[in-house]
Amino acid sequence: MFALIPAAGHSTRMGRPKLALPFGGSTVLECVIAALRTGGVERILVVCGPRAPELVPLALNGGAQVLALTEPTPDMRATIEHGLAWAEHEWRPSPEDAFLLVPADHPTIDSEVVRRLTETGLASRSRSIAIPTYQGKRGHPTLIAWKHVSGIRSLPPDVGLNRYLRGHAAETVELLVESDSVLIDLDTPEDYELLLARYSSTPPQ
């Protein structure tokens, strides 16, 4: 099992590389990596784009491995597929393996949620996707069995990963959590200011 963090976005709405913003005593990206490591994930791959080279040392310092793309990707799915190809070549996962898909702009990801996902998320043989939910809303990260990679790769170019996941509801287990941290992302300067205010005294673990 490994974690894949697509970090090749353009931060258009933020106006500056959002993953390098200060947060919780480090940076947004480093907080995500730290939560994964605390949650028991040893292998972490960060896929970086060419427009934010400052993310590479941040990821390496956090203990992750880095795939530094030389060309921008058109969307997150393309970034994810680059990461999956790298993982397939370097780590050679089996169909029984799984990976955590972790958005890089979720600095409040809970390490305990990560641990619960990796330890119990796919305990049933009939379930191959696990998603945390808070008050009926699906959040992140998502645990996906490696057997789904071929299906992801065969999607039409204009179809995102969310549609693929929705099409496999029968194989999906929802993990109920008690914190809305699984829903919080970071897109705009307003999001960032609100997040700083909320966690100024108690940074996420």
pLDDT for 203 beyond 60:
no
The answer as to whether 204 is a domain residue is no
Tell me, yes or no, whether 166 lies in a domain.
yes
φ/ψ region of 76 (left if φ > 0, alpha if ψ in -120 to 50, else beta) reads alpha
Answer whether residue 122 is part of any domain.
yes
Specify the number of domains making up the chain.
Answer: 1
pTM, rounded to two decimals: 0.93
Determine phi and psi for 180, rounding to 5 degrees.
-80, 5
- Model confidence band, residue 158 (pLDDT cutoffs 50, 70, 90): confident
For residues 59 and 48, is the Cβ–Cβ distance under 8 A? yes
Could you tell me the residue range of the domain that residue 73 belongs to?
Answer: 2-199
CA–CA dist 86, 67 (Å, integer): 8
Residue bearing the bigger pLDDT, 41 or 199: 41
Could you give the count of Cα atoms lying within 13 Å of 149 in the half-sphere of its Cβ?
23
- Residue 205 placed within a domain: no
**Does the structure show a pLDDT above 60 at 132?**
yes
Question: Confidence class of residue 202 from pLDDT cuts 50, 70 and 90?
Answer: low
Q: Is the pLDDT of residue 201 over 80?
A: no
Position 64 in a domain: yes
93 contacts 100 by C-beta, under 8 angstroms: no
pLDDT digits (tens, 9 = 90+) for 50-74: 999 999 999 999 999 999 999 999 9
Which CATH number fits the domain that encloses residue 166? Answer: 3.90.550.10
Domain membership of residue 100 (yes or no) is: yes
At 26, is the secondary structure helix, strand, or coil? strand
Stretch 20-28: mean pLDDT, rounded? Answer: 93
**Going by C-beta distance under 8 Å and a sequence separation of 6 or more, which residues neighbour residue 160?**
75, 76, 77
pLDDT of residue 125: 77
